[in-house]
Amino acid sequence: MSKFENQCVVVTGGASGIGEATVRAIINEGGSVLIADLQEERGQALVSELGSRAAFHFTDVTREDDIVGAIVLAQNEFGPLTGMVNNAGVVGAIGSIMDTSAEAFDHTMAILSRAVFLGIKHAAKAMQPQGRGAIVSLASTAGVVGGLGPHVYTMAKHGVVGLTKSAACELARIGIRVNAVAPGGTVTPMTSALGDNNPETTAQFIADSSPLGFACMPQDIANAILFLLSEDARYMTGHTMVIDAGETTGAAPPPFFSVDADILLHAGNRGLDQ
């Protein structure tokens, strides 16, 4: 039996990038997916390609009714909701905090934070009768440390990490797991500006700053999302899985281990002698 057989998953922002890779991976593993996205043409094209276990619902995640509609359609098409991926996103407000308007702040937070809150809220309500389900939301390395993204993006993604912990505490008792993934730079349309809208240049740009020396692709993040959705992660909840080639651990450049061992030994001995 395939890992996602009889599973019904909603993926917001599923028409592009990480969301699209997640949709494809769930279909490959035998599951059914509702793509909830603003991009109708891309979403419908994906459904035509993937067949009867995929469906599309025009969804603006800033609208609570749209999120409810996506979940209702998914359940009508494919049965009880087993998985929810709160993935839709934009870069949002950029620039100095001194120049950022309250309107741009509100719009960015509505997509990156409020929509995740609404996604968890309505997925939990749909999953409660079955007493099981898994929710995965997209944070970012900008949700774990400062300085890796614009201010509002950073605040919103830290919010995703916090809400993941908080919701996990409440929902564990009713069999629903809530986790997040925190990717570093990944080659998608969102990051295409880094490489003049050329995926190969974008991949090279990301590879050049990666401790592992190659670029993170959407499939790398989809792999982690599928793991957290699956029974393989049945004892994990409230967790944010960082997928960044070690960037936020300070893995590059090697700060300590590259120093000559003799120098370290002598330095250590000097310290002991004193």
Ligand X SMILES: NC(=O)c1ccc[n+]([C@@H]2O[C@H](COP(=O)([O-])OP(=O)(O)OC[C@H]3O[C@@H](n4cnc5c(N)ncnc54)[C@H](O)[C@@H]3O)[C@@H](O)[C@H]2O)c1
Query: Contact positions toward ligand X, by CB under 6 A?
Result: 12-13, 15-19, 37-39, 59-62, 87-90, 111, 138, 140, 183, 185-186, 188-191
Residues whose CB falls within 8 Å of the CB of residue 138, separated by 6 or more in sequence, listed in order: 18, 85, 86, 87, 89, 116, 160, 180, 181, 183
Cβ-proximal residues to 146 (8 Å cutoff; 6+ apart), any chain: 154
CB of 262 to ligand X, least distance (A): 41
Q: Which is nearer to ligand X, 32 or 188 (CB)?
A: 188
Considering beta carbons, is residue 36 or 231 the nearer one to ligand X?
Answer: 36
* Identity of the residue, 91 or 174, whose beta carbon is nearer to ligand X in the bound complex: 91
Q: Of 8 and 67, which CB lies nearer to ligand X in the complex structure?
A: 67
Minimum CB–partner distance for residue 15 and ligand X (Å): 4
In 199-246, alpha helices (H): 199-208, 218-229
The least distance separating ligand X from the CB of residue 24, rounded to whole angstroms, comes to: 13
Q: What is the DSSP string of 94-114?
A: -S-GGG--HHHHHHHHIIIII
CB of 124 to ligand X, least distance (A): 20
Helix (H, G, I), strand (E, B) or coil at 11: strand
Query: Please, what is the minimum distance in Å from the beta carbon of residue 58 to ligand X?
Result: 9
Burial of 55 from C-beta contacts in 10 A (0-12 / 13-18 / 19+):
buried
Q: What is the dihedral of CA 208, 240, 147, 106, to 10 degrees?
A: 120
Selection from 86, 40, 77, 84 nearest residue 59 by Cα: 40
Structural tokens at position 110:
């509505």
Cβ nearer to ligand X, comparing 117 with 132: 117
Q: How far is the CB of 174 from ligand X (least distance, A)?
A: 26
Residue 235 catalytic?
Answer: no
Question: CA 15 to CA 189: how far, in whole Å?
Answer: 11
| Active-site position among 4, 56, 153, 205 | 153
Contacts of 22 (CB under 8 A, 6+ apart): 11, 14, 85, 87, 218, 221, 222, 225, 226
Output 90 or 264, the one with its CB closest to ligand X.
90
Cis peptide leading into 150, omega within 30 of 0?
no
Cα dist from 12 to 48, 62, 247, whole Å = 18, 11, 27
* Residues assigned a catalytic role: 153
